[in-house]
């Protein structure tokens, strides 16, 4: 659909139509065929009427007036020395250039204009060169309208792409926020359930001091989880910037903290490192940390008490984290805090995080020979 004409466009249309009416219709009245002047005046009125209706948004009636102006001006072209082709050309350009109308509407109007110009030349003959010039006017107007139509369609496609890009960016932010909060809350709340269950058991056994230690540990875990959640939200709200580099020492300390939490929650883990560590970007380091965190949380949830084997292998072009635990013979009952929560989001988020790394990455999960293994790989070059 064409844009609504502005006040300047409306004023220019009225002034132009008035000048044409004075110059051709009024000034030449009695010197040119009356039927031609009437048709010319009607085409000018249709042109002005179309502009006024488009200004107030009445498109359908405006289109009818534009389609009427084309043949009216075309058939009077020879008798008015081509002056009546001005409203014909303008309205034909509008019809062809309107992306909201089928292209056949404009093309049909253009062909009708060519035929009616020829008909008018039979009624009021003109020289062949003049007739050829008149026939060229609708052709040029149609080409200009088609170019305008293509430009409008290109603008529409660009606007749709921009909207889609904004929607995808918002969706990516939403997914990243959900992924980070899942990682933090699954780790923290799962640990809290373990600590509080242990505290309850110790109280029932008459060991209040040991239970108090468990409650203190649960409080520390909750505070740590709340801090991580705040940092995750703050990172998403902050403007995008270059990823912060993480030294091997910083990554190692973060991984050791996760292992200590797992041990404090009653788990056992065998930890090993091979290769020469190197600096990682903040995104790569966060992916490795979250992968270990989620894997340990899954082990505590689905195989409580089972030994866990975790290893980091550094290569020239990638770093690989492998976490493995034995699978219990019978499924473990779901903790009360986890009931009603759809499973699998942790592994899905882990894959999304590694696949979104600038240099690429992948996560493979396998289950066989009585063991559940997560292998997360981040490319370094």
Q: What is the pLDDT of residue 271?
A: 93
- CB proximity list for 281: less than 8 A, separation 6 or greater: 243, 244, 245, 246, 358
Length in residues, the chain: 381
pLDDT tens digits, the chain, 381 residues: what are they?
Answer: 567 888 888 898 899 888 888 877 776 665 778 898 899 999 999 999 999 999 898 989 999 999 999 999 999 999 988 889 999 999 999 999 988 889 999 999 999 999 999 999 999 998 999 999 999 999 999 999 999 999 888 888 888 888 888 888 777 767 766 666 666 666 676 677 767 777 788 788 888 887 887 787 777 767 666 766 676 666 556 555 545 788 889 899 889 988 888 887 778 899 999 999 999 988 899 889 889 988 888 887 788 778 999 999 999 999 999 999 988 765 555 444 444 444 456 788 788 889 888 899 999 999 888 899 999 999 998
- The model's pTM: 0.53
CA distances from 209 to 152, 199, 309 (A): 76, 10, 32
* Per-residue exposure over 103-131, b if at least 16 CB sit within 10 Å of its own CB, e if not: eeebbebbebbbebbbebbeebebeeeeb
pLDDT value at position 203? 83
What distance in Å separates the CA atoms of residue 159 and residue 24, rounded to the nearest whole number? 44
Cα separations in angstroms, 368 against 171, 321, 327, 372, 373: 35, 18, 9, 7, 8
357 Rama class: left (phi>0) / alpha (psi -120 to 50) / beta = beta
Residue 233 is predicted with a pLDDT of 65
Bridge-based pairing state of the strands 371-379 and 361-368: antiparallel
Cβ-in-10-Å burial (0-12, 13-18, 19+) of 56 comes to: exposed
Distance, in Å, from the CA atom of 111 to the CA atom of 135, rounded to the nearest integer, reads 10
* Domain-wise residue ranges, the chain: 7-163, 243-381
The confidence score (pLDDT) of residue 198 equals 73
Tokens in use for 358? Answer: 């600038």
What per-residue confidence (pLDDT) applies to 94?
92
- Hey, which residues does 246 pair with through a beta bridge? 280
Given 3.40.50.300, 3.60.15.10, 3.30.565.10, 3.50.50.60, which CATH number is that of 243-381?
3.30.565.10
**Beta bridge pairs of residue 274:** 313
Would you state the pLDDT for residue 68?
A: 94
With CA atoms as reference, report the closest residue to 126 among 228, 219, 33, 259. 33
Closest CA to 243 of 202, 295, 205, 287: 287
């Amino acid at each position: 659909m064409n844009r609504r004409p502005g006040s300047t466009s409306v004023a220019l249309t009225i002034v132009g139509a008035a000048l044409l009416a004075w110059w051709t219709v009024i000034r030449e009245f009695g010197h040119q065929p009356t039927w031609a002047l009437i048709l010319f005046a009607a085409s000018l009125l249709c042109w002005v009427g179309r502009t006024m209706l488009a200004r107030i948004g009445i498109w359908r009636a405006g289109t009818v007036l534009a389609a009427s102006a084309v043949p009216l001006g075309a058939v009077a072209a020879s008798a008015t020395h081509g002056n009546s082709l001005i409203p014909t050309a303008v309205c034909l350009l509008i019809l062809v250039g309107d992306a909201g109308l089928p292209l056949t509407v404009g093309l049909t109007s253009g062909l009708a204009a060519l035929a009616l110009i020829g008909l008018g030349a039979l009624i009021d003959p003109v020289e062949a060169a003049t007739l050829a010039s008149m026939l060229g006017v609708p052709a040029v107007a149609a080409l200009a309208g088609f170019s305008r139509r293509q430009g409008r369609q290109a603008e529409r496609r660009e606007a749709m792409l921009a909207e889609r890009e904004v929607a995808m960016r918002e969706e990516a932010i939403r997914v990243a926020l959900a992924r980070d909060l899942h990682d933090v809350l699954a780790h923290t709340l799962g640990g809290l359930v373990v600590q509080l269950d242990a505290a309850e058991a110790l109280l029932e056994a008459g060991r209040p001091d040991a239970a108090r230690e468990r409650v203190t540990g649960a409080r520390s875990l909750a505070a740590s989880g709340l801090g991580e959640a705040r940092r995750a939200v703050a990172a998403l709200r902050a403007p995008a910037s270059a990823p912060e580099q993480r030294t091997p020492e910083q990554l190692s300390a973060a991984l050791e903290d996760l292992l200590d939490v797992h041990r404090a929650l009653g788990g056992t883990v065998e930890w090993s490192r091979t290769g020469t560590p190197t600096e990682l970007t903040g995104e790569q380091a966060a992916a490795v940390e979250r992968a270990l965190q989620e894997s340990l949380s899954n082990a505590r949830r689905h195989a409580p008490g089972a030994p866990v084997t975790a290893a980091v292998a550094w290569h020239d072009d990638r770093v690989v984290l492998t976490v493995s635990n034995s699978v219990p013979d019978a499924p473990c009952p779901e903790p009360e805090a986890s009931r009603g929560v759809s499973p699998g989001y942790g592994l899905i988020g882990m894959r999304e995080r590694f696949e979104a790394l600038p240099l690429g990455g992948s996560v493979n999960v396998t289950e066989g020979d009585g063991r559940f293994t997560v292998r997360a790989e981040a490319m370094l070059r």
